Amino acid sequence: MSKGNGSATPLEIFKQRQGPASEELLGRVKDQSKRKAAIKKALKDGPMTVPALAEATGFAAADVLWSVTAMRKYGLAIEEGVEGDYPRYALPEKEVKR
């Protein structure tokens, strides 16, 4: 898809130089998406700690922690209280409605 004048757009040039995404990268993105969806589903029942989320989702606690950290960074999860030594995470109102 190039502009009507025959020149390639910057995105097209980038894609030509980089080539397609590797299968490894696509696999990691798919895994991250599955984890995020499972965490969001578990948090719809209420706030949970990382160990509780790991148990509820079946993912390793370290992977859940990375996912929850990213979700917090982008406003997809919030800290809501503490349970023992662990912070509890919840969905912000905008995410609960989805």
pTM for the structure as a whole: 0.76
Closest CA to 91 of 29, 25, 46, 27: 46
Q: How far apart are CA 62 and CA 74, in angstroms?
A: 19
Domains of the chain: 10-96 (1.10.10.10)
Which tens digits make up the pLDDT trace of 53-98?
A: 999 999 999 999 999 999 999 999 999 999 999 999 999 987 666 5
Res 21: pLDDT: 84
Which tens digits make up the pLDDT trace of 3-20?
A: 445 688 998 898 889 888
